[in-house]
Amino acid sequence: MQTVDAAGLQIGDDHPPRIMGVLNVSKESPYDPSVFDDPDEAAAYVDEELVGEGADIVDVGLESANKKFDVLSPEQELDRLDTAVETIQRVEGDVVFSIETRYAEVADEALSRGFDMVNDICGFADPEMPEVCEAHDAAVVKMASPPDLERPGAIEDVDDIYDALTLNGFTDKTIVDPAFGGWSEDKTLADDRETFDRLREFRGHGCPILVSINRKNFLREVADRSTEEALPVSLAATSMAVERGAHIVRTHDVAETRDAALIGYEFRRDRYDAERVEELDVTTVAEAERHVTRLDGDLDAAGDAAARAYEVHGLDGDDRAALAAEGVAVTGEDPTFVAAPISVIQAAADELESPDGVLGELTAAWSIRT
């Protein structure tokens, strides 16, 4: 996993999770506490409510990305940039400033006038965006999106998110965002839940990961909470996201999210990481396949990267012998400990040809958990 330097702020596995607070200079943005059109008031908000509460990055939005609003043109975004620039010039705290935009032209102007990084919500749909960010040596968040500047984040199938992030390549300072939230009519809460469940897969790009899950509907639904009541579910998900490999958490609730992120970071799985040897964060074959593909390897090897272990009741001696003959680790009589890499499990399931009884139950379990 590469480390990204964002104007001196190090982002990656070897560094604490970074908190991205939000400031909007767009009157149509839905979250009123973060919306300002006066630079002095905006700067005070940044110093007191964002930097003062622990934000490492402040993401400044020029327009709402809500799909119910018309998309602004580059010229319209540039008209709002003056307020954003005046704001960051007035901020006293030490923080990295990110400009949220889909346009390379706007990113170029913002980076020229004091912004440190870019949050591209259309994921390089503007093909000049990578070149602009590289010219300024700026970090850039790349959100999974179709190749369409008017459809930010509107990926309609979770299986397509990983590939969408490759649109127009990566810079040396790219951070990936799998795009949580209702960016399209076709995207469901179940899609967001699946994306969250598969978060480790996005580590396969070798880039740091940003998540924007603050008070999102797919979390609120679990606990049946309104937006106003949803802070606890956001914080629980934040710890889980960081434990699963997220490096930046974008939020309106800075202080609380910072604490939750630090808990996730403190209790993440301890992986070996040295100059030439890095233990990969892999728990499923799909996660392993992402890394194998990145390293131009043989996908068959991915089945050896993840394993399953079971406590099984009712295996007789013949069943245990049959499993052991296929290379499965078997020990204990009843209950029996059964474990193997997934590639071995799959081969054993094929060889045993769906047996009856408890062995049949075990191979059925393999078919849905590998």
CATH number at 71 reads 3.20.20.20
In this prediction, residue 267 has a pLDDT band, given cuts at 50, 70 and 90, of very high
**CA distance to 15, 91, 104, 174, 307, per residue, from 4 (Å):** 10, 24, 20, 7, 31
Query: In a 3-state reduction of DSSP, which class is residue 170?
Result: coil
Q: Same structural domain for residues 345 and 226?
A: no
Beta bridge partners of 308: 340
Q: Same structural domain for residues 334 and 206?
A: no
**Strand 18-24 to 248-250 pairing:** parallel
Cα separation, 176 vs 248, whole angstroms: 10
Domain boundary among 266, 291, 315: 266
Question: Residue 298 falls within a domain, yes or no?
Answer: no
Question: Residue 274 falls within a domain, yes or no?
Answer: no
Q: Same structural domain for residues 338 and 222?
A: no
Q: Same structural domain for residues 311 and 230?
A: no
- Residue 144 has a pLDDT of 97
Domains contained in the chain, number: 2
**Percent of the chain predicted with pLDDT > 70:** 96
- Residue 184 has a pLDDT of 82
Which distant-in-sequence residues (6+ apart) come within 8 Å of 49 by Cβ? 21, 33, 254
**CA distance to 14, 38, 172, 183, 206, per residue, from 3 (Å):** 8, 36, 9, 28, 9
Question: Residue 325 falls within a domain, yes or no?
Answer: yes
Smallest CA-to-CA distance from 175 within 94, 103, 120, 218 is with 120
Which distant-in-sequence residues (6+ apart) come within 8 Å of 360 by Cβ? 354
The dihedral through the CA atoms of 25, 179, 182, 213 has a sign that is negative
Q: Same structural domain for residues 28 and 121?
A: yes
Query: Does the pLDDT value for residue 161 go beyond 90?
Result: yes
pTM of the model as a whole:
0.93
- Residue 33 has a pLDDT of 62
Cα separation, 235 vs 258, whole angstroms: 9
Domain boundary among 237, 266, 295: 266
- Residue 53 has a pLDDT of 97
Question: Residue 271 falls within a domain, yes or no?
Answer: no
Question: Residue 170 falls within a domain, yes or no?
Answer: yes
Q: Same structural domain for residues 37 and 182?
A: yes
Cα separation, 113 vs 100, whole angstroms: 14
Q: Same structural domain for residues 223 and 329?
A: no
196 in Cβ contact with 218 (< 8 Å): yes
Smallest CA-to-CA distance from 232 within 250, 219, 248, 243 is with 219
Q: Same structural domain for residues 328 and 219?
A: no
Rounded mean pLDDT of 210-220?
Answer: 96
Question: Residue 283 falls within a domain, yes or no?
Answer: no
In this prediction, residue 352 has a pLDDT band, given cuts at 50, 70 and 90, of confident
Q: Same structural domain for residues 72 and 219?
A: yes
Q: Same structural domain for residues 106 and 53?
A: yes
Cα separation, 141 vs 59, whole angstroms: 11
Q: Same structural domain for residues 168 and 45?
A: yes
pLDDT in tens, 321-350: 999 999 999 999 999 999 999 999 888 888
Host H or E run for residue 197: helix 189-197
| 68 compared with 43, residue with greater pLDDT | 43
Query: Does the pLDDT value for residue 41 go beyond 80?
Result: yes
Write phi, then psi, for 147 (nearest 5 degrees).
Answer: -80, 60
Cα separation, 219 vs 230, whole angstroms: 8
Domain boundary among 234, 250, 266: 266
- Residue 28 has a pLDDT of 62
Smallest CA-to-CA distance from 117 within 132, 85, 136, 139 is with 139
Average model confidence (pLDDT) across the chain: 93
Query: Does the pLDDT value for residue 42 go beyond 80?
Result: yes
Residue 335: asked if its preceding bond is cis (omega within 30°), the reply is yes
> How many angstroms separate the first and last alpha carbons of the chain?
25
Strands (DSSP E) found in the chain: 4-6, 9-11, 18-24, 57-61, 96-101, 117-120, 139-143, 174-177, 210-211, 248-250, 307-312, 329-331, 336-341
Question: Residue 83 falls within a domain, yes or no?
Answer: yes
Question: Residue 110 falls within a domain, yes or no?
Answer: yes
Smallest CA-to-CA distance from 126 within 140, 112, 115, 114 is with 140
- Residue 147 has a pLDDT of 95
- The residue segments making up the domain with residue 185 are 4-266
Q: Same structural domain for residues 87 and 211?
A: yes
